[in-house]
Structure 1
Amino acid sequence: MIIQGPEIYYAASCLILVVTSLFCALVRYFHMCRPFDEEETYFYPARKLITIIYACFALPVVWLFRMDSPDACLFMRVFLVLLLPGAGVLSFRRFFFSKTRHRRLIFVLSGIIPLAIMLACWIYG
C-alpha cells in the first residue's frame, strides 16, 4: 500500500504518537529524580498508573498496519473518547482520593470497562 495525499500526514502523526507514548512510558517507569526516589509512593502515587496510560497510547499502531480497514479506522475514532475520561478519573482519584470508599466500583466503571471496549476494538481491528 502506497500512502498518498493527506493519509501520509495521518500516518506520520500516528507514528509520532506511538513512539512518543512508548518513550514517555519508559521514562516515567524507570526515572525518578534523586530526592523523590526514596519514597515514590508518597511523592508520586500514580506513577505506575500513568505508565500504563502512556503505554495505552501505543495501541493506535494497529491503524498503521491496516489503514484500509474500516475496523481500525473506527478504533482510531473512538480511541481517545474512551481512553481520556477514564484515565483522567483514575489518575485524579489516585492522587487525591485514594483512601475513600467505593474505590473498586469507580475503578471498574472508569477504568476496566473502557479498556475492555478498547481492547476488543483493537483485537477486532
Structure 2
Amino acid sequence: MDKKAYTEKEKLVLVSLVKEYGACIENKKTDGTSIQEKQNAWENIASYYNAQPDINIHRTSKQLKKLWDNLKQRKRKETTHLRHSQLLTGGGPPSEKKDDPVLELVTDIAKYSDVTRDCLWDSTALYESKF
C-alpha cells in the first residue's frame, strides 16, 4: 500500500468541508443515531473531498477522519507546548507561536478539543488566564 502525505492544500480542503459538518462530527453523543449520523457525515465529506478538482489521490472516509483526529491532536500538542514554554523560568525570549492556517481553522471548528481548566489554588491560574 502506497501512502502519500497530505499537502497543505488537501488539509485546507478537508478542514473547510469539516466546517460544514462540524456540529455533527464534534457532537459528544455516542448513541446509535449519533454514530450513524457521524458516519454519514464522514461519507459525505469523503465524496465531496474526492470530487475536488485539485485532489489527485482518492481518500476514504476513514483516512480523512484519521487526518482530522491528527490535526486536532497536533493543535492540542501545540497549545500545551506554548503554555508550558510560557511558564518556564530562566529568562530569554518567549517562544514564538507558529502561524498555521490549518490549525487556526481546526481551533474554530473543534472548540472543545483543547480546553483548559482554571484552578483557584494555583498561583499560575491568574497568569494563564491572560493568554
Give TM-score scaled by structure 1 length.
0.31
Give TM-score scaled by structure 2 length.
0.30
Query: Which has the greater radius of gyration?
Result: 2
